[in-house]
Structure 1
Amino acid sequence: MSPSVCIATPGYLSSTPRVVKEADALHEAGMDVRVVHTWGGLERKRKHDRDLLRDKEWTIDTVKWSSDRLDELGTYVRYTTQHRLAQCMPKTTWPATRMAEQVEHRVYPVLARRVAEEPADLYIGHYPAGLAAAAHGAEQHDALLGYDAEDYHVGQQPDNQPRIERTDFIERRYLGRCAHVTAASEGIASALADRYYIDRPLVVHNMFPWAERGNLNGQTKDRNGEALSLYWFSQTIGLNRGLQDAIRAAGLLDTPVQLHFRGALYDEVESELVSLAEESGVAEQLYFYSQVPPDELLSRTAEHDVGLALEQGHTPNRALCVTNKLFYYPLAGLPVAATDVPGQRRLLENHTDFSGLYEPGDVEGLAAVLRRWTDRDALEEAKSRALEMARGAWNWEREQKKLIRSIREIL
Structure 2
Amino acid sequence: MQKPSLNKKVCLITSGHLSSDPRLCKEALTLSQKGFDVHIIFVQNLEYLAGADQAILSNNPTWTSDKLKYPKRNVNTLIFRKIPAAISKFLSILSFNQTIFRLSAVLIKNQNFYWQVSKAIKAKADLYIGHDLGALPVIVAASKKNGATSIFDAEDFHRYEVTDEEDSKEFKITRYIEDKYILKVNLLTAASPLIAAQYAKLYNTNVTSILNVFPQVTIKEKNETEKGLKLFWFSQSIGPGRGLENIILAINKLKDSVVSITILGDLAKPDQVYFNSFFSKNNIDTAQIHFEKPILSDKLIDFTSKFDIGLATEIGIPKNRDICLTNKIFTYIQAGIAVFASDTLAQQELMDSLQNVGVVYKKDDIDDISSKLTRYLLNRNILKEHQHNALKAGRETFNWEIESKKFLSVIEQALSLR
- The answer to whether the superposition gives a TM-score over 0.5 is yes
Counterpart in the other structure of 1:320: 323
Counterpart in the other structure of 2:337: 334
Letter in 1 for 2:213: M
Matched residues, percent identical? Answer: 30
Of residues 300, 304, 307, the one that matches 1:304 is 307
Of residues 256, 259, 271, the one that matches 1:257 is 259
TM-score by length of 2: 0.88
TM-superposed deviation, 1:154: 0.7
- Tell me, in whole angstroms, the C-alpha distance in 2 between the residues paired with 1:314 and 1:95: 26
Counterpart in the other structure of 2:3: none
Letter in 2 for 1:161: S
In the alignment, is the contact (CA less than 8 A) between 1:176 and 1:198 conserved in 2?
no
Of residues 374, 378, 401, the one that matches 1:397 is 401
- Tell me, in whole angstroms, the C-alpha distance in 1 between the residues paired with 2:13 and 2:347: 28
Of residues 114, 126, 131, the one that matches 2:131 is 126
Alignment of 1:9-408 (within 5 A): 9-40=14-45, 42-56=46-60, 57-66=62-71, 68=73, 74-76=79-81, 79-80=84-85, 82-90=87-95, 91-93=97-99, 97=103, 99-158=104-163, 159=165, 161-195=168-202, 197-211=203-217, 213=218, 227-253=228-254, 255-265=257-267, 266-275=271-280, 278-279=283-284, 282-374=285-377, 375-408=379-412
TM-superposed deviation, 1:276: 6.1
TM-superposed deviation, 1:82: 4.5
Computed over aligned residues only, the root mean square deviation of the Cα atoms, in angstroms, reads 2.4
- Tell me, in whole angstroms, the C-alpha distance in 2 between the residues paired with 1:200 and 1:372: 43
Letter in 1 for 2:239: G
SS in 2 for 1:255: coil
TM-superposed deviation, 1:55: 1.1
SS in 2 for 1:36: strand
- Tell me, in whole angstroms, the C-alpha distance in 1 between the residues paired with 2:403 and 2:29: 13
Deviation digits for residues 29-58 of structure 1, max 9, x if unmatched? 222221111111x22110111123321132
In the alignment, is the contact (CA less than 8 A) between 1:340 and 1:359 conserved in 2?
yes
Letter in 2 for 1:44: Y
- Tell me, in whole angstroms, the C-alpha distance in 1 between the residues paired with 2:353 and 2:86: 52
Unpaired stretches in structure 1, ≥5 consecutive residues: 219-224
TM-score by length of 1: 0.89
375-384 or 307-316, which deviates more:
375-384
- Tell me, in whole angstroms, the C-alpha distance in 1 between the residues paired with 2:86 and 2:276: 37
SS in 2 for 1:210: coil
- Tell me, in whole angstroms, the C-alpha distance in 1 between the residues paired with 2:72 and 2:94: 25
Distance 1:260 1:95, change over 3 A: closer
SS in 2 for 1:6: strand
Distance 1:300 1:275, change over 3 A: farther
In the alignment, is the contact (CA less than 8 A) between 1:274 and 1:286 conserved in 2?
no
- Tell me, in whole angstroms, the C-alpha distance in 1 between the residues paired with 2:349 and 2:341: 12
Counterpart in the other structure of 1:221: none
TM-superposed deviation, 1:69: 6.1
In the alignment, is the contact (CA less than 8 A) between 1:67 and 1:73 conserved in 2?
no
